[in-house]
Amino acid sequence: MKELQNLVRPNIWKLAPYSSARNEYAGHTAHVFLDANENPYNKPYNRYPDPLQIDVKEKIANIKDVNPECIFLGNGSDEAIDLCYRVFCEPRIDNVVAIEPTYGMYKVCADLNDVEYRPVLLDDNFQMSASKILDACDDHTKLVWICSPNNPSGNNISREEIVKVITNSDGIVIIDEAYSDFSREKNFRSELKKYPNIIVLNTFSKAWGCAAIRLGMAFAGKEIINLFNKVKYPYNINALTQKKALEIIDDYSDVHEWLRLILMERTHMIKAFRDLPICERVYPTDANFFLAKMDDAQAVYDYLVEKGIIVRNRTRVRLCNNCLRVTIGTRSENAELIGAIRQFSEAHKA
């Protein structure tokens, strides 16, 4: 890895961050707030939220076993993804490398930030070759994107191959572990000290059942987190989101139960799909969804839409021709999907 200063955009390294009113008295106890031009009425919503979300980070740190100073909280993981470009990538000069297919926001943010995006195709089993990833890199490659478990394929990317990329890359390797709670694979956030050039993403949207509150997490070394905090908008996480995050963390036992139910249903759903005559293959998954190759994905998708059942048609994605991505729902939702698709299969056979 290059020195961090040599990876960061020069203007960002020199940037003097905006100093919010709530930052300036940090470390002191206060009860009269006349510093931020707030309305004194309609408490508590009249006050700006904690710009660094200290209480939330401390609780996350206890669960994730990460130092609070190594945690960034964003408006969904998408904010952290965008910040990676804004901190490290010089528009029209630098580039990023990513596995393909994968989560679409990596490329969207590259396009928004005018940064070259270099996709490297996975093999037919949706596995990555570290040598191909590294071959796609050059002196202007600042970021490498690896989603594991991957989306839309659902499988863990080989840990051995990921480590090869991390240890041989001059830039920052971002490992998106949005679905890691559904997997038994060892996570990378526990190895931040071992690999100082990684950023690990996680989210409250999946296992935590809080997609609506838009809260994403990034774990990295303190220096990288400080850069994120320097560039982010001052009050990027609102008070209602912080309040709900604290509540769900306190009810962590619920999350464990949801995980148990989802994993149990995942087993049932995969078996049911494999038994369908119109299903050619169900790919291995370590996430809360699976990818199924159908005889005619578009026809199945259209039929399900008419029944008010929505899955994701991924047939236009590379390596995913005639594939549907199916999220694991409740038992009743899953039963309704299986019932409908069996009806389609019977009609298709006739």
pLDDT digits (tens, 9 = 90+) for 157-187: 999 999 999 999 999 999 999 999 999 999 9
Q: Report whether 188 contacts 153 (CB < 8 A).
A: no
Cis bond leading into 234, ω under 30°?
A: no
Q: Report whether 65 contacts 190 (CB < 8 A).
A: yes
C-alpha–C-alpha distance, residues 79 and 76, integer Å: 6
pLDDT of 21 over the 80 cut: no
Q: Which two tokens stand for residue 235?
A: 């009050």
Q: Following DSSP, what letter does each residue of 36-55 receive, concatenated? A: S---SSSTTTTSPPPTT-HH
pLDDT in tens, 129-139: 999 999 999 99
* pLDDT given at position 104: 97
Q: Which two tokens stand for residue 57?
A: 């980070």
Q: Report whether 216 contacts 78 (CB < 8 A).
A: yes
pTM: 0.95
Q: What is the average pLDDT value for the chain, to the nearest integer?
A: 96
pLDDT in tens, 241-280: 999 999 999 998 999 999 999 999 999 999 999 999 999 9
In the chain, the percentage of residues whose pLDDT exceeds 70 is 99
* pLDDT given at position 348: 80
Confidence category of residue 18, pLDDT binned at 50, 70, 90? confident
pLDDT of 215 over the 90 cut: yes
pLDDT in tens, 68-111: 999 999 999 999 999 999 999 999 999 999 999 999 999 999 99
* pLDDT given at position 17: 87
Q: Report whether 241 contacts 213 (CB < 8 A).
A: yes
Cis bond leading into 44, ω under 30°?
A: yes
Which spans in the chain are helix H? 4-7, 10-14, 21-24, 54-64, 77-88, 105-112, 130-135, 159-168, 222-231, 239-250, 252-274, 297-306, 331-349
Hey, what long-range contacts does 105-110 have (CB within 8 A, 24 or more apart)?
105/78, 105/81, 106/81, 106/145, 109/78, 109/81, 109/82, 109/84, 109/85, 110/85
pLDDT of 300 over the 80 cut: yes
Query: At residue 252, what is the residue type?
Result: Y
pLDDT of 349 over the 90 cut: no
Confidence category of residue 26, pLDDT binned at 50, 70, 90? low
pLDDT of 347 over the 90 cut: no
Residues 6+ apart with CB under 8 A from 103: 147, 151, 176, 178
pLDDT of 1 over the 90 cut: no
In the chain, the percentage of residues whose pLDDT exceeds 90 is 92
Q: What is the mean pLDDT of residues 4-22?
A: 90
